[in-house]
A and B are shown apart, each in its own frame.
Chain A
Amino acid sequence: LAKTTQPISMDSYEGQEVNITCSHNNIATNDYITWYQQFPSQGPRFIIQGYKTKVTNEVASLFIPADRKSSTLSLPRVSLSDTAVYYCLGVAVDTDKLIFGTGTRLQVFP
C-alpha cells in the first residue's frame, strides 16, 4: 500500500534555508511529484512539481532522487510569510490514485 509521509512540523528562522522531505514508497514512475502550500482557511496552492533530479522556480527547488522514493522541497531564505503547511502529492502506483502527504507545518520565527 502506497504511503506518503512527511515530518509533522519544522521550525526555522527568517533567512534560513528549509528542506522538507516527503517519503513516498510507491509513487508511480510516470507521474509528477507536486508540492503545495496551504495557509489557514485557504485551499492548497501550487509551489513546484518535478519528475526527476532537480527542478527550480522562483520560489523553491525540488530534489527527486533516481529511485523516486522521496522528494525534498527546498525553500531558500524563508520569511515569516512562509509559515504554512506544506504537502507533497503523487500518484500511487498500486491504486493509481492521487494521494497527498501527511503535511508539514513550517513555523518561521523572526
Chain B
Amino acid sequence: DAGVIQSPRHEVTEMGQEVTLRCKPISGHNSLFWYRQTMMRGLELLIYFNNNVPIDDSGMPEDRFSAKMPNASFSTLKIQPSEPRDSAVYFCASNLAGDTQYFGPGTRLTVL
C-alpha cells in the first residue's frame, strides 16, 4: 500500500484565497483524521471521520475551516477565506477501528 497520500505537498497562497487540501487514506481504513502542526501549538486534532461521517469537529478553529469525506477513499479540508495565521503543516491520518494511526507526509501551507 502507498500509505496515506496528501496533496499538494506545498501550497503558497495569498490571504483571502480559498485553499483545499486533499487526502487519500489507506485502503480499508475506516477512520480519517485531520491535524494541524505549528511551532506554537504543536500537533492539534482538527476533525475526524468514522465511516465517512464526521464524529468530532470541535478542533476546527472557526467557520472558515470545513472538511468533507464524500467516500471512503477521499477527504478534503478547505479553508475559505485563508489568513496568514492558518500557515502550518496539515496532516491527514487514517486507521482501522481505533488501531494505530498512519500519517501522511503533510501539506505545508503558507498564506501570505
Contacts and interface: CB of A to CB of B under 8 A. Distances in A.
Interface of A: 34, 36, 41-46, 49, 87, 95, 97-103
Nearest to B91: A43
A49 B99 CA distance: 10
Contacts of B105: 41-43
A36 B33 CA distance: 15
Contact of B103 (A43, A95, A99): A43
B102 interface: yes
Category for how many chain B residues contact A: 10 to 19
Given A43-B104, A100-B44, 5 more contacts: A44-B103, A45-B103, A97-B45, A97-B59, A103-B43
A24 to B, nearest CB: 14
Contacts of B93: 43
B58 A102 contact: no
A87 B100 contact: no
Given A43-B93, A97-B56, A102 B42 contact: yes
B64 to A, nearest CB: 21
Contacts of A87: 42-43
B26 to A, nearest CB: 12
A99 B46 CA distance: 11
